[in-house]
Amino acid sequence: MITGAVGESAIRLSLSWVDWLILVIYFAMIVWIGYTIHKQQKSSEDFLLAGRSMPAWIAGLAFCAANLGATEILGMAANGAQIGMPTIHYYLIGAIPGMVFLGIFMMPFYYGSGVRSVPEFMRKRFGKGAQLIVSLCFAVSTILQAGINLYAMALILQAMLGWSQWTAIILSAIFVLAYITLGGLTSAIYNEVMQFFVIVAALIPVTIVGLHQVGGWSGLTAKLSSMQDWSGSIHAWAGTGFGNVTNPVGGDWFSILMGLGFVLGFGYWTTNFTEVQRAFAAKSMTAARMTPIIGAIPKMLIWLIIIIPGLVAAATVGNLFAGDHPVLQYNEAIPYLFKMYLPNGVLGVAITGMMASFMAGMAANVSSFNTVVVYDLVQDYIKPGEKDSYYLKLGRWITFAGIIISVGTAWIASQFGNIMTYLQTLFSFFNAPLFAVFILGLVWKRVSNVAGTVAYVAGIIAPLITYILYLNSVAAGNPIFGSATAETWYGAIISLFATWVVAAILTPFTKAKTEEELEGLTFSTGGMKYFKAAKDEELEDAKRAAKGVKDTALVKVPWFKKPAVLGSIIFILGLVFYIPFF
């Protein structure tokens, strides 16, 4: 939950020259990375897809870091302070399964078919109409998300440093503009890797010190359990039964598993090009498949240093969040712990980590926005057939335009009381129906271009109607869902089924593509060849790595280099993490 600050900030920080120096060095480094990479940008593919040259571990860390924006760090910590351990669902159900599914099943189709973006795959499978609609929807949604990151950053910098919101917005926009315009996606990815470590370095000290102050995990849970005015829970699944929804999220187990875990989770991590673009930049099919799986490893653990500080804040200063005029907003949980526990120097690292998270989220949005606009809109519809140098130059101009528009959408985000719910609502509108169409198109070759395109539009309209009905029910004093969050989960489920039903109704009355036209685009029309090619590539990589082995026929692929094996282990470990909080 991220909301605006009220009154005089309680988290105003006093930074020493050491803290400011750390911040200045960080800003200098991100611009230097962009400048250094600028000379290597020779083509539009270099600028927009990093030349498809990234090793798996770099792309994997960037894959994870691209999601560690302001809304993730501040929003999930705020949820930890307000609702407690049910926040873990966003990681263990809402992220890990979808990331593993992308690596094992979806990337072979994406990478093997040679497409440069998610909308381009839609064109191959469902035609130009589908590509155009998906491209426009993605461009709108991703630039709205960039505005969310800018606005969330502005709120916190205003509270911590005393900057005005517009000063914070414009300053950060300028630095993101500098390194993305100079170095394109390559610069974004390398900066995201650096930002990942800076973010972790910022959050680990406050987590450790905070836990120590409350007597460790046992002391923390004992304190929270004794707080009668705390509305959260230390149990993730308690109160999620049908007819007995008493958990602070307001959702039952079905909406958590189906809505968050399947539709929103799989939809976000497998079709949101902001994330998938990092895997597209990988240097090979194997690297592309390993990218989200490697990214799932830190994602499986990162909640420890995001949710736990939120719990610590609830246990130590929970009274400051309470009342009609709270001293603290929930989104200020982590910044307030910075003020309480961190000395100068370490505080500079913490502030730099916050800045890194703001920029990582926004840069991921902008770098995917420019790729879709250039390739899927301009090159395919507006100005086809131009020299590649034209699209390279256009990519830089679109980046500039995307940053400017993001400043405007930051104002839109400021109109919402809870922009985490606003973000989830966007996902239910756009990611849920896209995932529904994708899955249907992969497993059912009969689905036609018309059926898939119309079904996608219906999948957008259905959750929009659901959202409007929910708002009306709240206004009438009789909400049809337990919370705004539960509404987004059920809205996603409704979107999925609306998409499938419309596609099933229209398919028999519309002309399907031939098997030749669908070659490599469904499981039953040659798509399995990508999985065989991926296995062959894994074996060839293992043989090249087996130096000194005379008989290469004896070489086997190590288990940790097999996406299916490693991904399955990570999926199981993710479920195991639930056990202490069940």
In words, the CATH class of domain 17-411+523-577 is: mainly alpha
- Locate all alpha helices (DSSP H) within 15-127, ordered by sequence: 17-38, 44-49, 56-65, 70-83, 89-92, 96-101, 107-112, 118-126
What per-residue confidence (pLDDT) applies to 448? 96
Q: What is the mean pLDDT of residues 282-296?
A: 95
8: pLDDT confidence band, cut at 50, 70 and 90?
low
What secondary structure letter does DSSP report for 240?
Answer: E
Q: Where are the domains of the chain?
A: 17-411+523-577
Please determine, for residue 5, whether its predicted confidence score (pLDDT) is greater than 50. no
Instruction: Report whether 11 contacts 339 (CB < 8 A).
Output: yes
Query: How much is the pLDDT for 407?
Result: 85
More confident residue, 367 or 503: 503
**pLDDT of 487 above 50:** yes
385: left (phi over 0), alpha (psi -120 to 50) or beta: left
pLDDT of residue 320: 87
**What's this model's pTM, rounded to 2 decimal places?**
0.92
556 — phi, psi (to 5°)? -125, 150
> With 50 as the cut, is the pLDDT of residue 316 above it?
yes
Please determine, for residue 1, whether its predicted confidence score (pLDDT) is greater than 50.
Answer: no
- The SS3 of residue 54 is strand
pLDDT of residue 4: 46
What is the pLDDT at residue 491?
A: 93
pLDDT score, position 30: 87
Is the pLDDT confidence value at 10 over 90?
A: no
pLDDT by residue (tens digit) across 270-284? Answer: 998 988 999 999 999
The C-alpha atoms of residue 167 and residue 420 are separated, in whole angstroms, by 23
Q: Is the pLDDT of residue 535 over 60?
A: yes
pLDDT class of 417 with cuts at 50, 70, 90: low
- What is the rounded average pLDDT for all residues in the chain? 89
Q: How far is CA 536 from CA 103, 175, 225, 287, in A?
A: 16, 43, 54, 13
pLDDT over 90 (residue 519): yes
Element (H, E) at 558: none
Report pLDDT for 276. Answer: 93
On the question of pLDDT at 485 being above 60, the answer is yes
